[in-house]
Structure 1
Amino acid sequence: MRNNLLCAFGLAIAFLASGCSDSKTNKRLPHIGNHSTTEKVVDGKTVIDTNYYQVPEFRFLNQDSVYISSADFADKIYITNFFFTHCPSICPTMQRNLLQVYEKYKDDNRVAFLSHSIDFKYDSPSVLKSYADKLGVTNQQWQFVTGEKKDIYGIADHYYVYTKEDESAPGGYDHQGYLVLIDGQRHIRGAYDGTNDEQVKQLFEDLAILLEENK
């Protein structure tokens, strides 16, 4: 499973690193994940529709002890990631970089942010609320959520992000620091190493492209 996830986002990162010449020229980003096609007849002609991979519906408890779901992100572009509040390794850098994106698009209702805690034991809603306040999040545009282990780790698989409870890892959890860019139909459109300044810069550029595409 982990090798498959690394491969999927490895291809995405390679595409982004190559300069995205096709997507920038055409003002469109790639769709990440397995696709399928269906045929239909329109005006006597056979037309092929592409069915892009879609993140499944979800429901989690947020920092205000309120359940939020995929319906709250309908028709919105959102950036999602996986972290835990006492993470001693990649999370502080990843979240500070994501905060830069949040600050640029703060109060822009076209864009949302969703951070999943993978520490289902400690990161209660009140802990997440305190963390969000300290980070500098001042509105509901950025949601911090928790849930049962199977649900959090399950949705991580659907975003192609590796997460694992691991006593030997720093803080007791092993995970990747991807910032995953999702469009309004829950299609994955980009993946960026949240600890890498160049990839965070690419996220800024690609988010602008996706917003233009959605006009």
Structure 2
Amino acid sequence: MKVIGILIGVVFFLSIGCRRPEVRLPILGEPVITQRLFNGKIVYDSAFPTIPHFSFLDQDSTEVNNQSFSGKIYVADFIFLSCPSICPKMTAEMKRTHDFFLRNDRICFISHTVDPERDSIPRLKAFASSLHIDDRKWKFVTGNQDSILQLAEKGYFSNAYKDSTAPGGYVHSGGLLLIDKNRHIRGVYDGTNPKETYRLINDINILLKEPS
């Protein structure tokens, strides 16, 4: 019995020693420093930036805003349907990720068009339908162009602007951005690189394990 007890102790010790440390994704962006008065003294606080409030219409003419993703993890990108360069690749990688998490209602997706003048709601609907996606899970949104471009730059720290010399008339980032349930950016991935999609999927699984 004494030998058995020793063996159990050794196995327990080894299991503790071999346990992998918890992996946690970083929060991206420079912390914002604020000050407030507390008990007559100035106190400094810091907080990581969050995705600011937004309100757009999706492919079903339904309003999509921050509350639409409350308590959710989501992946965001900025595209336009007549894009002749990177957008088709980005959408293909978003689709792969969408399909992987199709049955997980904690994961959502949002694609913002940077060309709302041409990308009307019916056109977005037709495009979404061609992908055979879950419309409740993946939103293609349109709205005021200035608001979309500003959200890309100020909210997601992503390039998106008009440029008549660029293919299709726009320059925009090829990044897929991973946002947690607290609206923090937790990762940026090259939407044109299939290997990056595996990293994105892995990181989403890490986020899913984070405590609420």
RMSD, aligned CA: 2.1
Alpha-carbon distance in structure 2 between the residues aligned to 1:121 and 1:38? 39
Give the SS at the match of 1:116. strand
CA shift digits 1:7-66 (9 cap, x unpaired): xxxxxxxxxxxxxxxxx94321000011146799xxxxxxx9752211111100111112
Would you say 1:106 and 2:102 are equivalent positions? Answer: yes
Name stretches of at least 5 consecutive residues in structure 1 with no aligned partner: 1-23, 41-47
Alpha-carbon distance in structure 1 between the residues aligned to 2:167 and 2:35? 49
Indicate the residue corresponding to 1:192 in structure 2. Answer: 189
Verify the 8 A CA contact 2:79 2:114 in the aligned structure 1: yes
Match of 1:171 among 165, 168, 171: 168
Q: Which has the larger radius of gyration?
A: 2
Indicate the residue corresponding to 2:75 in structure 1. Answer: 79
Report the TM-score, using the length of structure 1 for normalisation: 0.81
Give the SS at the match of 1:26. coil
CA shift digits 1:176-210 (9 cap, x unpaired): 11000000010000000100122221111111101
Match of 2:113 among 107, 114, 117: 117
1:133 and 1:26, CA in 2 relative to 1: closer, same or farther beyond 3 A?
same
Counterpart of 1:34 in structure 2: which amino acid? E
Give the SS at the match of 2:209. helix
Alpha-carbon distance in structure 2 between the residues aligned to 1:79 and 1:86? 21
Alpha-carbon distance in structure 1 between the residues aligned to 2:32 and 2:139? 32
Within 5 Å, give how 1:54-93 maps onto structure 2.
54-93=50-89
Deviation at 1:214, TM superposition (A): 4.0
Verify the 8 A CA contact 1:80 1:179 in the aligned structure 2: yes
Indicate the residue corresponding to 1:4 in structure 2. Answer: none
Match of 2:143 among 144, 147, 160: 147
Match of 1:202 among 184, 199, 202: 199
Alpha-carbon distance in structure 2 between the residues aligned to 1:121 and 1:199? 31
Verify the 8 A CA contact 2:128 2:135 in the aligned structure 1: no
Verify the 8 A CA contact 1:27 1:212 in the aligned structure 2: no
CA shift digits 1:162-186 (9 cap, x unpaired): 0011121111111111000000010
Aligned residues between the structures: 186
Would you say 1:162 and 2:186 are equivalent positions? Answer: no
Would you say 1:182 and 2:179 are equivalent positions? Answer: yes
Would you say 1:211 and 2:189 are equivalent positions? Answer: no
Alpha-carbon distance in structure 1 between the residues aligned to 2:169 and 2:181? 34
Indicate the residue corresponding to 1:7 in structure 2. Answer: none
Report the TM-score, using the length of structure 2 for normalisation: 0.82
